[in-house]
Amino acid sequence: MSSGELSMSPTSINWLPRRTLLVYLLFVDRLLIVVYAVTQILSFVSLSLNSPMKRELGLL
């Protein structure tokens, strides 16, 4: 069992995580940009609608 796991692990560790890490990094990049833009828009809208001091304290 252990020898089979050892023979199987190097290929899976070498191939899968690198590709998945690259894909995850790309998706996380896009998600972070979208989340940042959405938070900026929401903060701007909330600041324009409500009083700035209350919204800043609420966000913090």
Show me where the domains of the chain are located.
19-60
Give the tens place of pLDDT for each residue, 3-55.
Answer: 444 454 555 555 567 788 888 889 999 999 999 999 999 988 887 776 655 65
Residue in 35, 3, 49, 46 with CA at minimum distance from that of residue 60 = 46
Q: Does residue 59 contact residue 43 with C-beta atoms inside 8 Å?
A: yes
Q: Evaluate the CA torsion angle 11, 14, 17, 23 in order and state its sign.
A: negative
pLDDT given at position 1: 45
Q: 4 versus 59: which is more confidently predicted?
A: 59
pLDDT given at position 51: 63
Give the tens place of pLDDT for each residue, 35-48.
Answer: 999 999 998 888 77
List C-alpha distances in Å: 11 to 3, 15, 32, 44. Answer: 14, 6, 31, 49
